[in-house]
Structure 1
Amino acid sequence: MSRSLSVAVITLLSFGCYFFLSQAYFSELRIWINGYIPDLGISHLLVYLLVSLPVVLGASVINEFKRCQTTLGLNRSIVKGVLFPLVCTLPMFIGFALCFSINKHLTADEILITAVAAAFFEEFIFRGFLFGQLFRFTKLGFIPAILLGAFLFAAMHLYQSNDLPVLIGVFSTTFMGAVLFAWLFAEWNFNLWIPVFLHFFMNLAWMLFAVSDNAFGGFYANIFRLLTIALAITLTLVYKRRKQLPLKINKETIWIKNRN
Structure 2
Amino acid sequence: MSKNIRFFSIFILGFTTYYFFDLFFFKNIQTFSKNLFHSKAIAHVIAYSVTLIPLMITLKILLPKRNISDLLSLNKPVIKGFSFACIGTLPMLIGYLFHFKAISTINSETLLINTLSSAFFEEIIFRAFLIAALYRFTRLGFISSALLGSLLFAQVHLYQSQNITELIEIFAITFLGSIFFAWVYFESEYNLWSAIFLHFFMNLYWEIFNVSENVSGNLYGNLYKLISIVVVIALIIHFKRKNKIPFEVTWKTLFIKTREVQS
- State the TM-score, normalized to the length of structure 1: 0.96
Report the RMSD for the aligned CA atoms in angstroms: 1.3
Q: Distance in 1 between matches of 2:65 and 2:52?
A: 15
Aligned residue identity for 1:232: V
- Counterpart AA for 2:191: N
1:1-260 → structure 2 map (5 Å cutoff): 2-64=2-64, 67-260=67-260
Deviation at 1:9?
Answer: 2.5
5+ residue gaps, structure 2, are none
Report deviation, 1:23: 2.5
CA distance in 2, matches of 1:125, 1:45: 14
SS of 2:251's equivalent in the other structure is coil
Cα offset, 1:97, TM superposition:
1.0
Rate the CA distance shift 1:21–1:105 in 2: closer, same or farther, 3 A: farther
- Cα distance per residue 1:163-200 (max 9 Å; x no partner): 11111111111111100011111111111101000000
Q: Say whether the 8 Å CA contact 1:4–1:137 is kept in structure 2.
A: no
Closer/same/farther in 2, CA of residues 65 and 156 from structure 1, 3 Å limit = farther
Q: What is the number of equivalent residue pairs in this alignment?
A: 260
Structure 2 SS opposite 1:42 = helix
Which residue identity is paired with 2:32?
W
Which residue identity lines up with residue 152 of structure 1 in the other structure? L
Q: Distance in 1 between matches of 2:46 and 2:198?
A: 23
- Label 1:219 to 1:33 Cα distance change in 2 as closer, same or farther (>3 A): same
Query: Hey, what's the Cα distance between the residues in 2 that align with 1:122 and 1:14?
Result: 17
User: Letter of the aligned partner of 2:253 in structure 1?
Assistant: T
Q: CA deviation at 1:258?
A: 1.4
Tell me if structure 2 keeps the 8 A contact 1:41–1:110: yes
SS in 2 for 1:168: helix
> Counterparts of 1:2 and 1:96 in 2: how far apart (Å)?
53
Contact 1:92 1:202 in 2 (8 A): yes
The answer for unaligned runs of 5 or more in structure 1 is none
Q: Hey, what's the Cα distance between the residues in 1 that align with 2:89 and 2:46?
A: 28
Distance 1:181 1:227 in 2: 15
1:192-240 deviation per Cα after TM superposition (whole angstroms, max 9, x unaligned): 1010000001000101111111011000000000001111111111111
Comparing 221-230 with 13-22, greater Cα deviation is found at 13-22
Cα offset, 1:66, TM superposition: 5.1
- The CA deviation string for residues 69-115 of structure 1, in whole angstroms up to 9 with x for no partner, is 11211111111110000001101111111111111232111122111
- Offset, 1:24: 2.8
Q: Which amino acid is the alignment partner of residue 52 of structure 1?
A: L
Higher deviation after alignment, 59-68 or 237-246: 59-68
**Normalising by structure 2, what TM-score?**
0.95
Amino acid at match of 2:177: G
CA contact (8 A) 1:92 1:228 kept: yes
Which range moved further: 133-142 or 25-34? 25-34
